[in-house]
Amino acid sequence: MTQLATLAKPFSLFEWGKPNTKLLLIGEAPGEEEERVGKPFVGASGQLLNTLLEQSGFSRSDFNITNVFTERPPGNDFKLNWTTTKTELKKAGYSMAARLPPINKRYLIPEMEHHVARLHSEIDDLKPAFILLLGSTALWAVTGESRIGQNRGTILSLPNGRTGLATFHPAMVLRQWDQRPLVWADLSKAAKYLNGTLPKPLERLFYIDPTFEEIEHVYEVFAANPQWEIGVDIETDPRIGQITTISFCTPRFGICIPFYNKSTLPHLCNYWHTAAEEARAWRWVMAFGALANRKVGQNFLYDHQYLLEDLDIRIRNLQDDTSILQHSLQPELPKALGTLASLYLNEPSWKFMRESSKDDNKADE
Q: In this predicted structure, what is the pLDDT of residue 360?
A: 47
| H or E element in which residue 275 lies | helix 275-290
CA dist., res. 12 & res. 69, Å (int): 10
Nearest to 237, CA basis, from 258, 206, 208: 258
Q: What is the mean pLDDT of residues 231-255?
A: 88
349 or 222: which carries more pLDDT confidence?
222
Q: Is the confidence at residue 259, as pLDDT, over 50?
A: yes
- pLDDT classification of 266: cutoffs 50, 70, 90: low
Q: Are 169 and 27 in contact (CB under 8 A)?
A: yes
> String of b and e for 17-33 (b: at least 16 CB within 10 Å)?
beeebbbbbbbbbbbee
- SS3 state at 280: helix
Domain spanning 4-195, CATH class? alpha beta
Max CA distance (Å), the chain: 78
Nearest to 22, CA basis, from 53, 64, 60: 64
Nearest to 306, CA basis, from 240, 254, 218: 240
CA trace torsion 322, 323, 326, 331 (10° rounding): -170
Q: Quick: pLDDT tens for 270-328.
A: 888 899 999 999 999 999 999 999 999 998 888 888 888 878 889 999 999 999 999 99
Q: In this predicted structure, what is the pLDDT of residue 53?
A: 97
- pLDDT classification of 354: cutoffs 50, 70, 90: low
Q: Is the confidence at residue 267, as pLDDT, over 70?
A: no
Q: Quick: pLDDT tens for 61-91.
A: 999 999 999 999 988 888 888 999 999 999 9
Instruction: Give the domain ranges of the chain.
Output: 4-195, 205-352
255 or 363: which carries more pLDDT confidence?
255
Q: Which of the residue ranges 89-93, 112-116, 165-169, 263-267 would you say has the lowest mean pLDDT?
A: 263-267
Q: In this predicted structure, what is the pLDDT of residue 312?
A: 87
Please return the burial class of 41, using the count of CB atoms within 10 Å of its CB with bins 0-12, 13-18 and 19+.
Answer: buried
- SS3 state at 34: helix
CA dist., res. 234 & res. 246, Å (int): 4
Work out whether strand 242-249 and strand 253-258 pair parallel, antiparallel, or are unpaired.
antiparallel
pTM for the model stands at 0.83
Q: In this predicted structure, what is the pLDDT of residue 7?
A: 46
Please return the burial class of 91, using the count of CB atoms within 10 Å of its CB with bins 0-12, 13-18 and 19+.
Answer: exposed
Beta bridge partners, 65, equal: 15, 25
State how far the alpha carbon of 93 is from the alpha carbons of 23, 85, 104, 109, 110, in Å. 40, 13, 22, 12, 11
Q: In this predicted structure, what is the pLDDT of residue 69?
A: 95
Q: Quick: pLDDT tens for 183-241.
A: 999 999 999 999 999 988 888 899 989 999 999 999 999 999 999 999 999 988 777 77
- pLDDT classification of 143: cutoffs 50, 70, 90: very high
Please return the burial class of 191, using the count of CB atoms within 10 Å of its CB with bins 0-12, 13-18 and 19+.
Answer: middle
Work out whether strand 155-157 and strand 107-108 pair parallel, antiparallel, or are unpaired.
unpaired
| H or E element in which residue 217 lies | helix 212-224
- pLDDT classification of 10: cutoffs 50, 70, 90: low
CA dihedral sign, ordered 180, 142, 108, 72: positive
Q: In this predicted structure, what is the pLDDT of residue 357?
A: 43
Strands of the sheet containing 64-67, edge to edge, are 64-67, 23-27, 130-134, 163-167, 155-157
pLDDT-above-70 percentage for the chain: 90
Please return the burial class of 200, using the count of CB atoms within 10 Å of its CB with bins 0-12, 13-18 and 19+.
Answer: exposed
The reply to whether domains 4-195 and 205-352 share a CATH topology is no
CA dihedral sign, ordered 210, 211, 213, 219: positive
CA 332 to chain centre: 20
Mean pLDDT, the chain, integer: 88
Q: In this predicted structure, what is the pLDDT of residue 347?
A: 81
Q: In this predicted structure, what is the pLDDT of residue 140?
A: 96
Q: Is the confidence at residue 352, as pLDDT, over 70?
A: no
Q: Which of the residue ranges 44-58, 217-231, 260-274 would you say has the lowest mean pLDDT?
A: 260-274
Superfamily of domain 205-352: Ribonuclease H-like superfamily/Ribonuclease H (3.30.420.10)
The 3-state DSSP composition of the chain as helix, strand, coil percent (nearest 5) reads 45, 15, 40
Q: Is the confidence at residue 163, as pLDDT, over 80?
A: yes
Q: Is the confidence at residue 6, as pLDDT, over 50?
A: no
Q: What is the mean pLDDT of residues 29-38?
A: 92
